[in-house]
Structure 1
Amino acid sequence: MKLTGIHATPGYAGFFFDDQRAIKQGAKQDGFTYEGEPVTDGFEEIRQAGETLIVDISLEDGSTIRGDCAAVQYSGAGGRDPLFQPEEYAPVVEGPVADELVGRDATDFLANAELLEELAVEGKRLHTAIRYGVSQALLGAAAKADGTTKTDVLADALGTDPATEPVPVFGQSGDDRYTNTEKMFVKGVPVLPHALINSVEKIGEDGETLVEYVEWLTQRSQELGPDDYEPRFHIDVYGMIGEIFGPPYDRDEVVDYFVTLEEAAAPYPIQIEGPMDAGNRKAQIEEMVELREGLEAADVAVDVVADEWCNTFEDVQAFVDAGAADLVQIKTPDLGGIHRSGQAVRYCEGTNTRAYLGGTCNETATSSRACAHVALATDAAQVLAKPGMGFDEGYMIVENEMRRTIARRKRDQQLTASDEVTADD
């Protein structure tokens, strides 16, 4: 079945674009927005509406398959592509991208996605958001043409055996870190709550505010969670531990702080994302390695998660090869083509680093469902509930997509087995 057309429509994403540099430099919140001027190129406000580019691919049977171009909340920060502006990029999708893809066989997902990955316009590689969104549509088109699931298309392309149970979902609370987290406890979410600890005020001058929050997590999870509930706490601190302590990170003061976090979370495991932001990939890896070595020497069982400066496939390789993290976040929009996220998960296989298939609150329902198939196809360690910061909607979208897909795959396998028995008879 051939690809017959590609169209692009600007739309809204599930959250907002935030100028992370301005926020870290002390921009004050004014209700839901921020006071002050942006400092990152492309931003007109420190917080502005998240946008997407809706991609529709037409097939020769008359069907239309959708993908959504999305970029992370903190675009333009930590080595990422600049702020994504859909109006600017719609002509690129309907022009050079369509020229390359229209007429190709929809079933050739990997070849089509790799072609898109290498495409350059005016000497520049396509924005990661374009590669991300168009590849989602290419994945859906291949599944439609093959009469199978997106999980199976990806598994075939990546050479994997898909998960037979839903991958653990990681819920994110946003700034409503108490109410939204209580919702997660009631629903028995396996990994939580993210908590958005992105300022000194939220972590405390000496880290005491975060410790108090983790103590609350432990107590409240036992009060509200289901029977036999064993959550894993995952806190994103956006480099704030580095802000309040500073290097070197293997010294007693820093290690003792992690001991306090471990004790506050007990009996549950805890992992800390983005403990510091060193300003570039090389320095970030070195400081993460230093921290991990300090924690290991002191026998501290707090896992460290790579986020800042771990954006591209090559970045993931560098962090994994250096042993710089217990988990790497694979930020799906930053890797470009959706198959690249799957390849990044696979790169963690056989190492001491687990793969967290993440992304951003600033995605869409369409891109989030597509990522659920990446999680299943690769059996990642955990997958982010997205989009949005309300928690419930993103959790529903990702969890239900995995459950629905697993159920369909079981039905398809039973039908295949029944047909084979009939043929033998």
Structure 2
Amino acid sequence: MTTEITGIHATPGYAGFFFDDQRAIKRGAQQDGFTYDGEPITDGFDEIRQAGETLIVEVELGDGTVARGDCAAVQYSGAGGRDPLFRAEEYAPVIEGPVADELVGRDATDLLDNAETLEELRVDDDRLHTAIRYGVSQALLSAAAEAATTTRTDVLADALGTDPATEPVPVFGQSGDDRYINTEKMFVKGVPVLPHALINSVEKIGADGKTLLEYVEWLVERSRVLGPDGYEPRFHIDVYGMIGETFGAPYDRDEVVDYFAALEDAADPFPIQIEGPMDAGGRAEQIEAMVELREGLADAGVGVDIVADEWCNTFADVQAFVDAEAADLVQVKTPDLGGIHRSGQAVRYCEGTETRAYLGGTCNETATSARACAHVALATDAAQMLAKPGMGFDEGYMIVENEMRRTIARREREQLPATSDEVTADD
């Protein structure tokens, strides 16, 4: 059978960025050039910043087709309830052993069945690392599309019961620490959502949050100078819990709400959303804190949207945040959900609620995993999608934007009706 899975292989490689020990950084580790001084805190880390790793997965089919996916884990692995640091050499035998044993011989067109098998598989009573489920499921998706001679978007749409987007999903650019030059690049290209900004230390947010306020004012000013005609960006700032570190609980009190009102004023006339305003130390505590903040903002008429990130990792986590109305957006952090179909299911869970789905991920992915996620974004028509991998912006933006555009163009070509000449010939 030409669509039968006949082999699975795993090759260690590099991801698009680095693994960082978030706990050490939050506790004040100082940068030394590109790296950090000090000792790591999180289990598995040898250094506070170390090279990102991937496993390059290849799924072979009976007709000789090879489909690819890349295992990836987030930059801040081991933090916020996530799986531990991903070591490629350690996990390669798992893919070529138990995973291959389970999948070889199956029909590649049975995407959901194959991907769910990964979710249920246990090795020594342990569930597979999220990165393994993520990368192998990408290859399974690609194999299903190759076997059916269609797009990955269509395979996912069929599996999830959706109508794919007909325009590219708005892309969210991330600047990394180069939050001025990279953001100016985004303005020139008219990126719809930006700049992430990586506000992950007391120094970057500033005393009483003043440095961040000044940065938001700069965003407005430079967007008007550099953006294309009619440009109306949405500002999205990830503060990695630093507003909570700066102000503390309770989050519905005047001091906190007034700060968010100041952020809204600084961003005027553009909308602004703040990701990870605090890190409360656990899922239940995080939901409670974010609900408290949202209620305080609503009572004061402050229109800043709140984005869930910390402690919102698995599909069950997404459900919990959405059910509690704890966020205006939830980040569907693709490597943390495991199988790529789970990311699509998480986006779908937001349908009909007050919560929008942001298909995110990490700078520490690869071009292969980013392209796979572009198909999830199209299949589910997510509210926005992260430009990835890397922190240089341009490359990640090109990868996901172009993947969506070429897919839309292909789908339009394949859906064109037959010409009158072709109809006559068939008659």
Q: TM-score range by the shorter chain?
A: over 0.9
The counterpart of 2:27, out of the listed 18, 25, 28, is: 25
**1:136 corresponds to which residue?**
138
**2:373 corresponds to which residue?**
371
**2:85 corresponds to which residue?**
83
Q: Give the distance between the partners of 2:202 and 2:276, measured in 1 at CA.
A: 14
Q: TM-score, with normalisation over the residues of structure 1? A: 0.99
The letter of the residue matching 1:248 is P
Q: Give the distance between the partners of 2:297 and 2:338, measured in 1 at CA.
A: 33
**2:274 corresponds to which residue?**
272
The letter of the residue matching 2:146 is K
Q: Give the distance between the partners of 2:9 and 2:139, measured in 1 at CA.
A: 11
Runs of 4+ in 1 over 6 A off after TM superposition: 416-420
Question: What is the aligned residue count?
Answer: 425
**1:41 corresponds to which residue?**
43
Q: Does 1:98 align with 2:100?
A: yes
**1:118 corresponds to which residue?**
120
**2:69 corresponds to which residue?**
67
* Structure 1: gaps (5+ residues): none
Q: Give the distance between the partners of 1:421 and 1:18, measured in 2 at CA.
A: 60
Q: Give the distance between the partners of 1:65 and 1:241, measured in 2 at CA.
A: 44
* Residue 417 of structure 1: how far off its partner (Å): 8.3
* Aligned partner of residue 206 in structure 1, secondary structure: helix
The letter of the residue matching 1:118 is E
Q: Give the distance between the partners of 1:415 and 1:109, measured in 2 at CA.
A: 29
The letter of the residue matching 2:69 is G
Distance 1:250-1:408 versus aligned 2 partners, 3 A rule: same
* Aligned partner of residue 208 in structure 2, secondary structure: coil
Provide the identity percentage.
84
The counterpart of 2:173, out of the listed 160, 171, 181, is: 171
* Residue 422 of structure 1: how far off its partner (Å): 5.8
Q: Give the distance between the partners of 1:175 and 1:418, measured in 2 at CA.
A: 57
Distance 1:34-1:128 versus aligned 2 partners, 3 A rule: same
The counterpart of 1:359, out of the listed 325, 347, 361, is: 361
* Aligned partner of residue 414 in structure 1, secondary structure: coil
Residues 106-162 of structure 1, C-alpha deviation per residue, up to 9 Å, x if partnerless? 111111001111111110100000000000000000000000000000000000000
* Aligned partner of residue 416 in structure 2, secondary structure: helix
* Aligned partner of residue 138 in structure 2, secondary structure: helix
The letter of the residue matching 2:64 is G
The letter of the residue matching 1:263 is D
**1:127 corresponds to which residue?**
129
Q: Give the distance between the partners of 1:6 and 1:335, measured in 2 at CA.
A: 22
**Correspondences of 1:175-214 after superposition (within 5 Å):** 175-214=177-216
* Structure 2: gaps (5+ residues): none
Residues 29-66 of structure 1, C-alpha deviation per residue, up to 9 Å, x if partnerless? 00000000000000000000000000011111111111
Distance 1:109-1:293 versus aligned 2 partners, 3 A rule: same
**Two-structure CA RMSD over aligned residues (Å):** 1.2
Distance 1:213-1:422 versus aligned 2 partners, 3 A rule: farther
Q: Give the distance between the partners of 2:90 and 2:231, measured in 1 at CA.
A: 47
* Residue 316 of structure 1: how far off its partner (Å): 0.2
Which deviates more, 409-418 or 385-394? 409-418
